[in-house]
Amino acid sequence: MGSTSILPASLVVISAVGLWGIVDPEGALRISSAIVDRTFASRGWFVMLTATGLLFICLWLAASRFGKVRLGHDDDRPEFSTASWLAMLFSAGMGVGLLFWAAAEPLTHFKFARQGLPDPQAASAALLATNFNWGLHAWGIYCSTALVIAYFSFRQNTPMLVSAPLVRMFGAERWARVVGWLSDFLAIAAIAIGVGGSVAMGVFQVADGVNALLGRTSGSQTIVWISFAAIVLCYMPPLMVDLGSGMARLSSAALLIAIGLLLYTVVLGPTEFLLNSVVTSFGDYIWNVVPSGFRTFTFFDDVAARWFKDWTLTYMVWWIAWGPFVGVFVARISRGRTIREFVLGVVFVPTVFSIFWFGAFGGIGLFDSLRNDGALLEITGSNVERVTFAILERLPFATLTTLATIAAAFLFIVTSVVSAAFVLGAFSTGGDPDPSPRVRLIWGAVLAVLSFTMVLSGSVAAVKSLIALGALPFVFILVLLMVCFLRALFEWEDDNADR
């Protein structure tokens, strides 16, 4: 079993999902939601335990004697500057999602929480839930996957494949090769479906930004398809250039725009309220992050349990869906860094930025809901794609900032697709760390077709459900990968002790 047999099988599955979404979008949503619901009901505890366990292992590795181990040869040094490295991993990992959910998610949680809590406590709970969904646990999943791939690729010279650690550590066992093949197959499916869904959400937001510029309150399907075509045309050229130079420039530009939007919002918005929101939400998160990682809402009513499954569990599976994609990409750009440096950069820096981001944009939404007319809360219930732009319309220079948001969304989508096409190209060529532009273009076209399917559904709920469906089997693979990694580290320690 090898990569040559993985590619046809994975393309069949991806094509089947695409055709399913085109022929019967409502049926795709109904059936995928039913499968995801049943799995969450029986395995939700395992998903949460896996996410929390992976985070704890990463933190332990950074603090332990293994933190000094370099991802590469002992004399290797990083290829990219720390700033470029952080920009690329952040763009690949979350990018467009932060723009899409900047205020919409905190407001959605607030609307739910205020049914049983006073408004001030509901606001705190809303930011806590949002920060948990986008914080340490998400980046712990990414970090653990990337650590495994980087260690085996750069220290043990294995192909850059999800299966490589399994084959290296248990290669003599037939089950390891079977599971390894299945791991690469599931990784390709999870990456393609996950990235396709994220592109679709980016298209929805870009289209709604254009509608906002045109002064339209309701969306136009024509603008949606024009936005989709423009995004596809924009991400194809970067697939033909060197990964390092192209991705570093695009990622840095997108991140700079995002930072500019963040500072603009804090300075020109209700500054005191927003800074207090950031500080308070940061403290709440630090205090509650550990118990929240073990909370499954077992003893709550069906409404609360449904909320937990639709949001927190879906997010954890969503990050797992992106785990092989972000993991391989981050591994590729991290050669030469120590485990300690890697964990601190991958886990903590994006988490801190996310807390500031949601504290600012979510804070404006909560400020409006608590002290003004609450119009943003109504928009959240009817048009989730419009919320970020509705916030910008309340601040000066709305046209300029709306254009900047659209540009950032474009860049984040482009960087996601470029890095995903690179990873899929590596998987389909037996782990080649630099797949040819032709291979990357082929995968770019495949992702365009899958994204078309997701856009056709016209539903964010359908997109989230399909992403979760594609990722569920990969939860178990992540556990196996971490077992391989820990075993390899202890063997390395034994070998060095004997010298």
Q: What is the pLDDT of residues 344-360, one digit of tens each?
A: 988 998 899 889 999 99
Query: How far is Cα of residue 240 from the mean position of the Cα atoms in its chain?
Result: 24
- Helical ranges in 293-335 per DSSP H: 302-308, 314-332
The answer for residues whose C-beta is within 8 angstroms of residue 237's C-beta and 6 or more apart is none
pLDDT at 388: 80
| Rounded CA separation 418/497 (Å) | 42
Q: According to the per-residue pLDDT averaged within each range, which of 91-95, 322-326, 339-343 is highest? A: 339-343
> Residues 448, 189, 230, CA angle at the centre, nearest 5°?
15
DSSP-based three-state secondary structure for 374: coil
Q: Is 37 exposed, middle or buried (0-12, 13-18, 19+ CB in 10 A)?
A: middle
Task: Decide if 270 is inside a domain.
Answer: yes
- Average pLDDT (374-400) is 79
Specify whether the CB–CB gap between 330 and 342 falls below 8 A.
no
Q: Does position 57 have pLDDT exceeding 90, yes or no? A: yes
pLDDT at 280: 92
| Ranges 25-29, 164-168, 185-189: which has the least confidence | 25-29
* Nearest of 196, 232, 168, 166 to residue 471 by alpha carbon: 196
pLDDT at 74: 78
* Nearest of 461, 367, 393, 427 to residue 217 by alpha carbon: 393
Looking from the CA of 122 toward its CB, the CA atoms found within 13 Å total: 18
* Nearest of 66, 302, 277, 97 to residue 197 by alpha carbon: 97
How far lies 130's CA from each of 99, 306, 328, 354, 355, in Å?
13, 16, 26, 9, 9
Instruction: Output the average pLDDT for the chain.
Output: 80
The answer for residues whose C-beta is within 8 angstroms of residue 222's C-beta and 6 or more apart is none
Beta bridge partners of 338: 70
Domain range for 172 is 3-289+317-497
| Rounded CA separation 308/240 (Å) | 42
Q: According to the per-residue pLDDT averaged within each range, which of 1-5, 72-76, 403-407, 473-477 is highest? A: 403-407
Per-position b or e across 450-473, b if 16+ CB within 10 A of its CB: bbbbbbbbebbebbbbbbbbbbbb
Q: According to the per-residue pLDDT averaged within each range, which of 20-24, 104-108, 461-465 is highest? A: 104-108
* Number of structural domains in the chain: 1
- What share of the chain in percent tops pLDDT 90? 14
The 8-class DSSP code of residue 240 comes to: G
Residue 361 belongs to domain with CATH number: 1.20.1740
**pLDDT-derived band at 472, boundaries 50, 70, 90:** low
Q: According to the per-residue pLDDT averaged within each range, which of 48-57, 197-206, 248-257, 424-433 is highest? A: 48-57
Q: Does position 406 have pLDDT exceeding 70, yes or no? A: yes
Alpha-carbon Rg for the chain, nearest whole angstrom, is: 22
Task: Decide if 110 is inside a domain.
Answer: yes
Task: Decide if 18 is inside a domain.
Answer: yes
Structure confidence by residue, pLDDT tens digits, 432-446:
767 777 888 888 888
Amino acid at the residue 306: R
Q: Does position 60 have pLDDT exceeding 90, yes or no? A: yes
pTM of the model: 0.83
Structure confidence by residue, pLDDT tens digits, 21-48:
666 667 666 776 777 667 666 677 888 8
- Average pLDDT (214-237) is 74
Task: Decide if 347 is inside a domain.
Answer: yes
How far lies 320's CA from each of 12, 65, 470, in Å?
22, 27, 10
Task: Decide if 180 is inside a domain.
Answer: yes
* Other residues' Cβ atoms within 10 Å of the Cβ of residue 93: 26
Specify whether the CB–CB gap between 139 and 351 falls below 8 A.
yes
Task: Decide if 295 is inside a domain.
Answer: no
Q: Is 83 exposed, middle or buried (0-12, 13-18, 19+ CB in 10 A)?
A: exposed
pLDDT at 284: 93
- Average pLDDT (61-68) is 90
First to last CA, the chain: 37
| Rounded CA separation 172/74 (Å) | 29
Task: Decide if 481 is inside a domain.
Answer: yes
Specify whether the CB–CB gap between 475 and 44 falls below 8 A.
no
Q: Does position 162 have pLDDT exceeding 60, yes or no? A: yes
| Rounded CA separation 303/286 (Å) | 26
- Average pLDDT (277-294) is 92
Compare 281 and 211 and report the one with higher pLDDT: 281
Determine the longest span between alpha carbons in the chain, in angstroms. 71
| Ranges 127-131, 314-318, 347-351, 490-494: which has the least confidence | 490-494
| Ranges 108-117, 263-272, 454-463: which has the least confidence | 454-463
Amino acid at the residue 272: E
Amino acid at the residue 288: N
For 93-134, the DSSP string reads: HTHHHHHHHTTHHHHHHHHHHTTTS-HHHHHHHHHHHHHHHH
- What share of the chain in percent tops pLDDT 70? 82
Task: Decide if 296 is inside a domain.
Answer: no
pLDDT at 126: 92
Looking from the CA of 274 toward its CB, the CA atoms found within 13 Å total: 20
pLDDT at 4: 47
